[in-house]
Structures are given as structure tokens and as C-alpha cells.
Chains A and B, each alone.
Chain A
């Protein structure tokens, strides 16, 4: 199977690096230097695994030849551009999205009729350079069919990920997992972007009246009410996901916090915005998620 990974941030790099050990991988990057570095040095994976994988990389989508599976691993706000660059081509390919938030599949669909696979990933990594990614959390990636994509296709891709050394599971319905992560991300990323606190035990503290855990808990409860109204039964309880993550010992810097610190655009619109819009669509009150959404948007506006 020939795979094209679009976007080589930490998640894209982890996927490309591992998959390149079992199949033919081509990487489409945004920057030319990034593609050049991968072609010259290969991609080093360190941390939980340690190897260097060879792969072909390019920054011009016109140079891409046919592939069987496209994995769009850009940030949520990069999906539109990625879909546009793939649009009208690769008729035989299946496309898979692994973005945070909601809506990536619809964006892909607007640009092509490819069978689509939804994925959410809980693994994490840190990019040390264009050709070096550290594999930090080896938590799984969950995949599910979008629309009428056959489940067998999803299982095949999940198996390939497992063969490459990653943790993956095919689920007949991804919505429960996607929503668990959506609520978790809207809450933890939003709070992190505003408080500048890494995801540490402050997020689970509920001793004092002003402890952050109360707010995190209430944000999660609002999110759960939206999920219920949307007819989604969650795969995992986002509050428990939060507590568990804060017990890992090493504080994780949520991407939205890193974005705000680096004064980059964040994924707030596709994560918090998606949840708040779902709440409005379902007629569910979500005043605290709305407040966090507005505050992060404003924080972004202060530097963009």
C-alpha cells in the first residue's frame, strides 16, 4: 500500500515515520526546506521507539503520484488548503483525517468523492527538528468509517498502523471517541491557552473554591450535555481522561497553549467553536464553554 501523509507536524511525523518501516510512504510538507531535510536525512523517531525511516518528501502537490491512502495530518485549520491541493485527483485513494475538533471530514468531502476514514489520536510527540520527532505518549489512535466507507477498509488501515508499531483500533462508530476527545480538548486546551498552565494536577484540583478543577469539571459537564443532545454516547468520560492525564507525572503542554505562547493561530474555531456551535444547534445552554471560546478568540485577536 502506498501512503501519502499530508502535513508533518508531530502527529504526521509519528505516522509517517512508523508507516515507512512497513510500507511505501511519501510526505507532503508545506515548506520546501522541510521536504529537503526529510529526503536528505530520513526521519528520526526517538523516545518510546528509536529508529530512522527513509521516505520521499515533497512540498509541491503537483509532484505527487498516485497513492492508496492519504492521511491528512495537518492542523485543523490546514485541512481546507490540504483538501484543495488534493482535490480532483487520486480517485482510487481513501483519505483519512486525524484532526482535533469536528468538521475535517466535511471539508475533505467538499473537495472530492474519496472514501473517508475518521480518526482521533491520543498519541503525542514533540518535534525537535524537521527530521526528528520524539514519540512521547503511546496512547492509541482510533479509526472509524465516515459515510459509507466499508468497515473492512478501516480495519485494514488500523492493522497497518499496528504492524508499524503504533497503537490503533478500528471502531464501527467513531463519534463516541471523537466527541470524548472534542470535549476533552475544548476544555483542557481552552483552559491552558488562558491560564498558560501545562496540563498538570491543577486541572484536577477541587479542594479550594477557586481551584481550577471545578471549572474543568463544569466545562466537561456542559460538553457532555451537548453530546447527549447530539445523540452521542461518549466512549470515555472526559473528566476521567483529564484526571488520568494529569497523573502521568510529566506535564503536557497542550497545543493551544504552545500556539498562544508562540503567537500563532490556534485551533480554537474547530475545537471550542465546533462544540459551541453544536450546543447552539441542539438548543443546549453552554455558557462556560462559550465564555472560554470567546476568551481564547480574543486572546488570539490580541496578537494576530
Chain B
């Protein structure tokens, strides 16, 4: 089978390099960073840290060079989904396209360009340390399921999950993948922007009781929006937030949005709190705190 990873940043690279280890999978990567593409084609895609892997694959910054693929795995930042799938959709005329991105709205963006869409949520994390080289920080599970309005066939979703699992990226195919997605979105929307606005690490956000109460207020709104859609969260975001605050887990972790803000890069706020607000509006659930946080982070982006 042939898989194309669309957006070969840290998370995309974890999928691409691991899948490339399988004999029966041919991996392509589409990415706009030419240096990264050249390094991958020259030396392979190297992972180090939680696992040491060198994946041999074909990378390109020219979407026209992509062959027809059975699967796409979209891993761009959420604000680049539309542009990335518009450029690459031709390769997935007969294939299925899944997302392993953050936030809400990515599946909808994919469905505007391709017919069979896979809803996905992934927890592994890493960072690019040099062109062609990714530091693999955290291992984690991935869940795939159908995007209900334009679903990929169950058998195909299972085929993709099976390939990922065999490649060392444990993945499960489920009938309803919204639970894990919303659990992660609520976690991220309730903690990332708080770090971004205050400059505090995850652990420090959680040990300030007043701030932790604000986090809970955001979580409660997210849960209410999920519940209005009959989505059952697969775990309580509150437990995950407290777990992550432990010194041996992620106390000192600077949320990716805080890193974005410090580097003055656009954040994914539109797809996190903005997504919760939009879905809340659709289902008549008020989300005043998520709306406030969304406006504050948008304001912060506009100050640059």
C-alpha cells in the first residue's frame, strides 16, 4: 500500500519514518520546507529519542509529483489544512485521507476536497531538531474512525490502523472517534492558551488554584458542547490535566501555543477554543470563557 504524509513536521515525521520501516508500505511525504525534503531524500528521515529510526522514503515539495496513494495522513498545523489538501487531493482520488492534527474542523476541511475521510487523534509528540531529523519526545496512541458526513470504509480504516500499529505507532480503528478527539481538544483548549497568555508552564498553571479553576471552567464548557452532540469522552480531561501537572510527567512543559507565542508564530487557537465556540453555537451551548480566551489569543496575535 502507498501512504502519503501531508505535512511532514514533527508528528508527520513520526508516522512517515515509522511506516517506511514496513516492507509492504511505500511512503511519500509532502512538505513545503525544501531543506527538510532534500535532507530526507538524501539521508532518510531520522527519529531519535523515544525510538531510534531511519526511514527511507520519497519526499517532495511539489504536489504534482505525488503518485496515486491509498492513504493520506494529514499532519500540518490546522491553519494549513485547506491549502495542503487542495494541493494534494489529486493523489487521493481513489484513496482515504485521515487527519492526525490538533483541533476541530480539519475533517470538514479535508471533506471539501476528498471523498473518504478518516477522523483521527494522535498523542505522540516530538520536534524537528534539524532538516531530516526529528526528536521523538513522547510515544502515544492514535485513534482512527470515520468522518461521518464523508466516511472512509471501515475496512480501510482498519487497514491504516493495522499498518501504523505494525510500524510501532499503536493505532486503533473505532466506530466513533469523536470521544478521543474531543478529549484532546478540551485538554488543549483549556490549558494551551492559559500557558500562552500567562507565560507559565503546565505545572505552574495547575498549582495556582485560581487559575486551575479557570481551566476547569473551560473544561466544563467543552464537556457541555461534547455532550450536546452525544459525544462520550473516553477519559475525563480533568484527570489528564492533573496527571500532566506531575513533576515526573509534564510539569515543566511549555504548551506548544506558548512556544508559538514566544516565537510570534500564528497559533491553532481558531481550531481549539474557536472550534468549541463554533460547535457550541451550532448546538445552542453557551461558551463565554472559551470565547473570551479565543479573543484574547487572537488579540495577542494581532499585537505582532
Contacts and interface: CB of A to CB of B under 8 A. Distances in A.
A30 B303 CA distance: 33
A301 B204 CA distance: 10
B212 to A, nearest CB: 10
Interface string B256-300: 000000000000001000100110000000001101111110111
Q: Main SS of chain B's interface residues? A: helix
Nearest to A297: B210
A202 B291 CA distance: 16
Interface of B: 194, 197-200, 204-205, 208, 210-211, 213-214, 217, 270, 274, 277-278, 288-289, 291-296, 298-300, 302-303
Interface of A: 191, 194-197, 202, 209-212, 214-215, 218, 287-288, 290-292, 294-295, 297-299, 301-303
Contacts of A211: 295, 298
A295 B197 contact: yes
Given A288-B288, A291-B289, A298 B295 contact: no
Nearest to A257: B303
Given A210-B274, A287-B288, A294-B214, A302 B296 contact: no
Contacts of A214: 291, 295
A302 B201 CA distance: 9
Nearest to B270: A210
A214 B294 CA distance: 11
A295 B302 contact: no
A299 B296 contact: no
B285 to A, nearest CB: 15
12 contacts: A194-B300, A196-B300, A197-B303, A209-B278, A215-B292, A287-B289, A294-B208, A295-B194, A295-B214, A297-B210, A299-B198, A301-B204
A196 to B, nearest CB: 4
A53 to B, nearest CB: 37
Nearest to B199: A302
Contacts of B217: 287, 291
A197 B304 CA distance: 9
Contacts of A210: 270, 274, 277, 291, 294-295, 298
Given A215-B291, A215-B292, A301-B200, A195 B211 contact: no
Nearest to B218: A291
A303 B199 CA distance: 9
Nearest to B296: A194
Contacts of A196: 300, 303
A212 B288 contact: no
A246 to B, nearest CB: 13
Closest 5 CB pairs of A and B: A195-B299, A302-B199, A298-B198, A196-B303, A215-B295
Contact of A302 (B198, B213, B299, B300): B198
Nearest to A216: B295
A195 B300 contact: yes
Given A295-B197, A295-B214, A299-B197, 11 more contacts: A202-B302, A215-B292, A288-B288, A291-B217, A294-B211, A295-B296, A297-B211, A298-B198, A298-B200, A298-B205, A299-B199
B197 A194 contact: yes
A191 B296 contact: yes
Contacts of B198: 295, 298-299, 301-302
